[in-house]
Structure formats: structure tokens, C-alpha cells
Structure 1
Amino acid sequence: MGCRDTAALNDLELMLLDETADPKALPLSLLKDITNDFSNDRQIGRGGFALVYQGVLESGTVAVKRLSDMCMDEKKFHGEVQCLMKARHKNIVRFLGYCADTQGNMLSYNGKLVMADVRQRLLCFEYMSKGSLRDYISDESCGLEWRKRYQIIIGICQGLNYLHENRIVHLDLKPENVLLDDNMVPKITDFGLSRYFEERQTSQSITSNISGTLGYIAPELYDGEKITIQSDIYSLGIIIIEILTGRKGCPDVEVYLRDGVKGWENH
């Protein structure tokens, strides 16, 4: 390991011990080293646009998100890093660093060797041992006890309120993007679709291609309305209903009320 990597490794080790430390640029070689060159046995998560790997350090474990080169949007990557640099709260997954590496490689194209830029875009976070909230949404017979559900709901609300106070709209809030630590404290993650509002700005125009996850994205965005901080509230409501009922999606109101009353009568 070179001097640069050793210094970066020491910085990353210290960041795990000091929660006030600022995120840093991290070299690709270091992220390869701590994930065993992004080996399959270190893979801990998969999404439509990225793979997540476990990075092992002497002082603990981190999560390394490697964005897909096929789906990479440089503007979105910069926007995600911008939001992550501004989001520091007990209910937001802690951002440790980023890597934006571009190297020229000789590749074969139509029988000729050409020089092509190979981009690597990675993000490094604290490791969340309990996985995502999706793994814990189930019916009452095997789900979380009611007090824990209440604490998780409060934590998500506090994290989202912090984002909105800092003019960040998440735009992809769902159980898969809420992770849980050793104490089952919820932390919001995945800011790939998020938008940051400049000071005095109250809304943003949406693009023609609406992203997000069906069932959680606010319906008004499909009608061409502008993004506001209220765009996340619909998603939050669906998550709360799922936590309370143990069912994915928004159930029949009568079923929701009946199950909710029964649950609280037993506690």
C-alpha cells in the first residue's frame, strides 16, 4: 500500500472513531483493498444502479457503494455527494467519503484499439448491521413489537424533518432506504435522486423522466407539479402504514383501523 493509501486508510480509521470528522475523498485503490477488490463474498446489497460491499478495517466495518458505469449520471452523482455532505444527523446514515476516479484504458472496438475513459464512482458509509427496514415489515405474529415500531417511526420523521430543514428533498423514501443499526435506530440512506434547494428557493421543476419507486412516489409528481419538501410526505405516510400493519402498500382503510386497534389493545 502506497503512502497516499496509508494516509487515507488512517483517516478512514479515525473517522470511525470520531463522529465529528468530515467526509473525505478516498482513493480507488484503498476501497479496492478494504473490499478485497469488490469480491462477491463481500457484497451485502444490490440495487438497480449500484452494488454495496462490506469494507473491513482494523477499527470496524464500512459500507462501500459502487455505482454502475452503465447507469452513471455525473450530475446526479455530484448532487448526491452534495446532499450527503450537508446531511449529518443521528437518523441519517453517516457519510464517510467518496471516490471519483477516471482512467484511460485501451479497449478493443470494431477490431481496433481505442483509448476509452473508465469511470469509477463510489461512496463510503457507516455499516448498518441490522439491514433495511424492509426486512422487518411483516404481520404481527413475527414483526416488531409496538413500542419499537413507534420508535422507528419517530426516528424516520426526525431524520426527514432534518433534511427538509436543510432544504433537501429525498424523493425515494421507502423501507429499503431506511437502515437500522445495532440498537434498531433507523437511518435514512440513498440520496441518488435527492434535490437540494438553494436558499430562498421553495420548489424545483421536475424532469420529464420521473424516477423513484412506484407505490411510494407522490402522485402529484406524475401530474407535472413542482417538487417541494412536501413531496416526501406521501412516501412517509405509506411507510408508517406499512410499519403499523405489517403489509406492503396501502391496505383497505377498514383493515388498517381494525388491525391497528387490536394491536394497541394488546399493549
Structure 2
Amino acid sequence: MNNSVTSASYIRNLSYSLRRRLSDFLDPQDRWMEVLTSIRKPSGEPRYSQLHVRRFEGLAAQGKSPTVELLVDWGTTNSTVGELVCILKSCKLLAAASLLLPEQGAVSQETQETQRASPAVDTKSRLPTRLLEETKTRAPPEVSVLPSHIPQELSGELTTGFSSFLYNELMEITGNFDDRPISDGGSRLGEGGFGTVYKGLLHDRPVAVKKLNPMDDISLDELQVQFNQEIQALRVLKHENLVDMVGFSCDGQHPCLVYALMVNGSLLDRLACLEGSPPLSWRQRSLIAEGTARGLEYLHGNHHVHRDVKSANILLDENLVAKISDFGLTRASAKRTSTTMMTERIVGTRAYMAPEALRGEITPRSDVFSFGVVLLEILSGQRPADEEREPQFLMEMRHDIDDEDEELTFEDFLDKKMSDWEPSQVESVYSLAGSCLHDRKNRRPVIEQVLMELKGVVKSISLNS
């Protein structure tokens, strides 16, 4: 390492080799993003916006190092190594900090390897949240094994209304968790953020069993918190447009959650017409959008933020009624209000994430932003992110549509598989999506306004038919 580097050294004067060594710590698992979101202007505002994040992600797709490019960009200011080290330490990237200023804390080789392997930006984190005005909370202690009994925090009233199943019973109804797809005679319905979902028949009732699996980038305590959070959320949240939980199991090798089976799968799969399913009509899509907005209105009205609204988490029953699922990231305001909260780590799905979500803010307006992306999916039938598409993120395509110098038109954007649409109706939903996707959260409509607009569209469709 370069012994001439001090806290007062300018970042722009770091050698290329030293920047590359830093990238070994920050490039894997996109740890550079946590550093980026911590950089502030002298005014205290974030220096980098969501557009900057996407630009750096694009560099990574080109084979370039986002860390090196970030240091070059930030280095155009008078930022110092001391500022960078403070950010690295606050992000618990101690090995990277030690690389620059070893006197601020030596880090063992074992710790360095651990930091290379564990993500700093976790798309499925379960660390505690806090209100802005409250003191910082500590993360729960690590656990070494998954519980083989009902955990204390799930005892009593938290499990009221849910059945507790034996793990062996769930193995039996899913064919020993047969990993072959349903189409091949197996039981697997799909993959989730924390596990695999299987189809089963429980007392003559079709169910979906989500088996939570430990993964390389997910600790056992995070897995347990997700399990507990899902049960706690669905114990108190009951609505026609939320998925129905039947029960759970925590006496076996894997904790499991059992839900009523949604026979039409996810909105994501139905828009893609997977397994030969027929295209959704404009009327069906509008009703699904309205139902999802109703579910979000219920959540926000009960002071909950979902935090991972996306088409893969919108399930459809036999009548194509929308059911919001996956409540492992859901957070309730500690004061039962809509106060903005902060989380220790960034969570969510990037193709749907609002700018403030990249800063760790938890607010209902972030759900509205994500729902705006879902509306674009409903209109276009395209995936929210596609590496082979330019632009990669669906939310950015509206800029090309609105730019008269670009070739993409609104008609080209609409899903060619969609029938029975009326120009005024699709344009109304497109305009609504644009409002939901405003970079400034306070400029977005609240979910009640979104629902009102969608109700108007559905009413218009009914009158026309």
C-alpha cells in the first residue's frame, strides 16, 4: 500500500493500483452503492441521484469497475481520503478502510475475506428500522441454528388464527418438496427472495408452501426475522387484495409458510404469457391494477409500508383478483403514523426502487413509485429490467417516449398482445404512472389518489362495454 496516503490526501491523487485494490472490496455484491448513497454535498444533500446509480450500473455491465469510476467522479471535488475512510467505516467496510489508512484499525485477512463475501447493499435485508427522531437501534444477535420450535416472539396472540403444521406433513403433501416444475409432474411453483414455493393439497384444499432456504448472502437470523415478520404482518392485515396465509411450520429443517394457492400465479408471469397462458385483456389488466391499489391503500391506511411492490409479488386467484404477497420486508410505523423511517441497509428490488429508497428511507410514497413501474408493465407487457434492452430499466423508457427526438412512440410502447384498449384510458394510466414515478416523493400522488384514478378508468371501461 502507499504509505504516502494520509487523511488529508485528495481522492483524485490516489494511484490507479490503489483504486483497483479498493474495487476488490467494493465491486462484489455492489458494495460501492452503499458508499455512493453515503456521499453528501456540502449542503448535506445526497451528491448522487438514482440516475447516477443507473449510470454506474451501466458501467459495470460494460465490464468497467463502478468503484474506480465513482472515485474518479467524486475526486473531481476536493474530497479527501479521510472523508472516504469515514464512510467506509460507517458502512462497516473496515478492510477497505484499513487499506487506505491502516493506522485507523488493522483488519485480519479472515475479516477481509468475509467482507469480500458478504454484501453491503442487501436486496432482502431484515435489520431493524427506526424513526428519524429516535436513537439508532442495534441489529439482533446472530443465531447459529434455525429454531426447532415456535419462537417466543411468535407465541400466544401472534399465531392466533393460523395453523401450525408439522414439517413432515408439508413434505408429504409436496412430494418431499419435489423440485421439478409443475409442468414436469413436480411440485415447484417458483422461486422467491428467501426460498422456493411448492404446490400441495392440504385437507383437499390447494395450498402454496414457501420453504425458506439459507443462502450464501442471507444469514440465519435474517431468515428467521423474515419468517417472523411475514407471520406478524399477515396476522393483523386482512384484505381481499392481500394474500391469505393458512399457517406455518417451524419444527423441521426449514421454516415454512403456507398460503392459499393462487392458481393464476404472478402478474409478472401472466404478462409474459408463461406456460401458454392467454394474454391479459385491457379490462383484466385495469381490474388487476385497481385491486393492487386497493390492497396498497389498505396497507398504507393501517400504517404499513410494503417496500417490495412488484409484479412478481402480485398474485392472481382463479378470477384474476390481485393479491399482494411477500410481506417479509413490510414495516409498520412504530408510532402508528405515516412518519418517514430509516433502515440500516438498503432493501428492495432495484428496478422498482424510488430514489429515497436508495438512501434507506421507508415511506408509503416509495410503494407508490414501485407501483408506477407495475403500471408501465401492465401497459407494455415488458419486464421491469432487461440487460438486452436499451434502456435496461422500464421506468426509463418513458423518457424516450416523451422525447420527440426519439423514435419510440407511445403506441409502440403498448403491449401488442393486449386487446380492447381505448386511447383515452391507456393514456390516463400512462400519465398516472408518470406521476407515481416522480423523483421527488412529495410530488407523487398518495395511494388514495392513485386508486381514484384507476377506479375512473375501470368505470369508463364498464360504460363502454
Q: Normalization by structure 2: what TM-score?
A: 0.45
SS of alignment partner, residue 347 of structure 2 = coil
What is the Cα-based RMSD across aligned positions, in Å? Answer: 2.4
CA contact (8 A) 1:45 1:51 kept: yes
Q: CA deviation at 1:175?
A: 0.6
Summarize the Cα distance change of 1:50–1:138 in structure 2 as closer, same or farther, 3 Å threshold.
closer
Q: Residue 306 of structure 2 aligns with which residue? A: 170
Q: CA deviation at 1:91?
A: 0.8
For 2:255, give the aligned amino acid.
Answer: R
How far, CA to CA, are the matches of 2:214 and 2:380 in structure 1? 38
CA contact (8 A) 1:93 1:189 kept: yes
Q: Greater share of strand residues, 1 or 2?
A: 1
Q: What's the CA shift string for 1:89-117, capped at 9, x where partnerless?
A: 11111011112226xxxxxxxxxxxxxxx
Q: Which has the larger radius of gyration?
A: 2
How far, CA to CA, are the matches of 2:170 and 2:266 in structure 1? 23
Summarize the Cα distance change of 1:57–1:79 in structure 2 as closer, same or farther, 3 Å threshold.
closer
CA contact (8 A) 1:98 1:123 kept: yes
For 2:257, give the aligned amino acid.
Answer: L
Summarize the Cα distance change of 1:57–1:256 in structure 2 as closer, same or farther, 3 Å threshold.
farther
Q: Does 1:153 align with 2:311?
A: no
SS of alignment partner, residue 45 of structure 1 = strand
CA contact (8 A) 1:245 1:256 kept: no
Q: Does 1:68 align with 2:213?
A: yes
Summarize the Cα distance change of 1:200–1:170 in structure 2 as closer, same or farther, 3 Å threshold.
closer
How far, CA to CA, are the matches of 2:304 and 2:359 in structure 1? 21
1:240-259 equivalences in 2 (<5 Å): 240-248=375-383, 249-250=394-395, 251-252=397-398, 253-254=401-402, 255=408, 257-258=410-411
1:155-234 equivalences in 2 (<5 Å): 155-201=291-337, 202-208=339-345, 210-224=346-360, 226-234=361-369
SS of alignment partner, residue 101 of structure 1 = coil
SS of alignment partner, residue 357 of structure 2 = helix
Give me the identity figure in percent.
Answer: 36
SS of alignment partner, residue 215 of structure 1 = helix
CA contact (8 A) 1:173 1:235 kept: yes
Summarize the Cα distance change of 1:88–1:200 in structure 2 as closer, same or farther, 3 Å threshold.
closer
Q: Residue 124 of structure 1 aligns with which residue? A: 258
How far, CA to CA, are the matches of 2:289 and 2:272 in structure 1? 15
State how many pairs are aligned: 226
Q: CA deviation at 1:126?
A: 0.4
For residue 85 of structure 1, the aligned residue among 213, 235, 242 is 235
Higher mean Cα deviation, 199-208 or 90-99? Answer: 199-208
Summarize the Cα distance change of 1:149–1:32 in structure 2 as closer, same or farther, 3 Å threshold.
same
Q: What's the CA shift string for 1:137-165, capped at 9, x where partnerless?
A: 259xx732111111011000001111111
Any stretches of 5+ residues in structure 1 without a counterpart? 1-20, 103-118
Q: Does 1:42 align with 2:187?
A: yes
Q: Normalization by structure 1: what TM-score?
A: 0.76
